[in-house]
Amino acid sequence: MQGESLTMKFIIEPLPWMHSTTIGIATRHGACHDNIAGLSSVLIPALSRGTRNHDEKNINLLLDGRGSNYYAFTYNDYSVLLIQCLPEEVERSISLLFEFIDMPLLESKVIASEKSKMIQHIASVLDHPFKRLLMYNLERSIFGDSHPYATPRIGFMDSIKDISREALVSCIESEFLVDPMGIIIGKVDATWSRLKELMEDKMDAITSVIRDSHPPPPPVQVPAMNQLVNEDPAVENAYLGMSVRIDPDHESYIYTRFLAAMMGESFGSRMFRRIRDELGLSYIASTVSINIGDHGALSNVMDVASDRVDEAIVALGDIFVDIASNGVGEEEFYLTKNHLLGSMDIMADSPFSLIPALVLSMYHGGPGTFKGMKKAIENVKRDGIHEWMEKIFKKQALSLSVVGNVDPSLVDQTWMKFGKEVQ
């Protein structure tokens, strides 16, 4: 297909200490844009299983046989395809990557295989209450049942069964390449400008119609102190997720990352110290940062014995309340900053870990480079964290999601009492 000229965004960064290069394509088409729930999760892995130029065996030889790795994933509002390769394989890998988008065979047997695996994966998620909380319930409690961001990325068993080859082809041809971004990170033998030009030429050659963006999502409308309880007597424990939503007028990817790290990403975080060590409520206690389009959330998640659910609800809520009310201590602030900076250096040794963070940062108005991300973290101020969290907490009510062996009336009573105390 011969198409109109297109200017791609780029994440381009030399990391000379590395021995490999990671190249990729990101697109602002994600699971929330699928007209059939779970379509992107079937499409993304199917793209690399045969093109008009290379069958699946040949693709494996071109990748595995040359020491390369292929990785692809879809999130709520973006998807990424990546190849990590040796520097001398970069141009060949770029050509192969664009073949996945431009010339996928999408054979019936491949589609059937991917659908079968996805249905099996959904079954395993539904069998595991913590996975069910994270994949199906958490975002429903944050955004409401009818919002596209509440649709699970993996879809539902029935929706996966309804996906046809025609639907996959239609997505590729008319919806997938939205606001595309090129990615080149690592060690490169060729000049960076040469690779950038090559990727732009490839994109221009396969693009007939590019939509600058999907329609904006509808406003998030959930009741104050929203809760979603999924009672399951067959489960021994209860699994909780408490969230505070982040709206676009105070969206900040770096602040979200900072607070997530401080609340629950390390053994020194508040979730670990308070929930796990001091109260002994949970073995698993962590914080999840959700960034989707113009919205996001900070979610504290944990498992707990069923007879201590009321304690867990109050303890989770108190972590949010304390930060919003009292701010962050100097020692905790610098520990968190050093933790994040160290984590960035560790991720830089593995582009497959680093790139999702960079793509998310770029699409949310952040720096979109390793050096830029580190600089942004270094520039975070302690007072700024307090002011930002206070603003969020005053404007947004908390939401609660519970899955497992719980008494819904006890959850409701505890939640209402906690809500009155907060207000």
pLDDT in tens, 201-213: 888 887 655 566 7
Q: Could you tell me if residue 299 is inside a domain?
A: yes
Would residue 4 count as lying in a domain?
no
Q: Which domain, by its residues, includes 400?
A: 226-422
Residues 257 and 394 in one domain: yes
Are residues 35 and 112 located together in one domain of the fold? yes
User: Residue 244's beta-bridge partner residues?
Assistant: 298, 398
317 and 180 in one domain?
no
Looking at the domain assignment, is residue 396 inside a domain?
Answer: yes
Final residue in a domain of this structure, among 206, 238, 264? 206
| Distance separating alpha carbons of residues 358 and 345, to the nearest angstrom | 13
Same domain as 250, residue 152: no
- Domain holding 258: CATH number? 3.30.830.10
Other beta carbons within 10 angstroms of residue 57's beta carbon come to 9
Q: Is residue 264 part of a domain?
A: yes
Q: Which residues contact 209 (CB under 8 A, 6 or more apart)?
A: 3, 174
Nearest CA among 318, 319, 312, 320 for reference residue 282: 312
In a domain, 310, yes or no: yes
Average pLDDT, the chain: 87
**How confident is the model over 127-149, as pLDDT tens digits?**
999 999 999 999 999 999 888 99
- Edge-first strand order for the sheet with 226-231 is 226-231, 398-404, 237-246, 295-305, 285-292
The verdict on 75 and 178 lying in the same domain is yes
Q: Residue range 411-417: average pLDDT?
A: 90
Look up residue 149 and give its amino acid.
Answer: Y
Residue 330's pLDDT band (boundaries 50, 70, 90)?
very high
Does residue 272 share a domain with residue 184? no
Residue 219 lies in a domain: no
Rounded-to-integer distance, Cα 334 and Cα 340, Å: 10
SS3 content of the chain, % helix, strand, coil (to 5): 50, 20, 30
146-159 confidence digits (pLDDT tens): 889 999 999 999 99
User: Is 214 part of any domain?
Assistant: no
| Structural domain total, the chain | 2
Same structural domain for residues 175 and 319?
no
**Shared-domain flag, residues 364 and 398:** yes
Same domain (yes/no): 60, 168: yes
Name the residue among 375, 374, 370 with its Cα closest to residue 351. Answer: 370
Is residue 212 assigned to a domain? Answer: no
Residues 161 and 96 in one domain: yes
Domain boundary among 171, 206, 241: 206
CB 330: neighbour CB atoms within 10 A?
A: 9
Q: Does pTM surpass 0.85?
A: yes
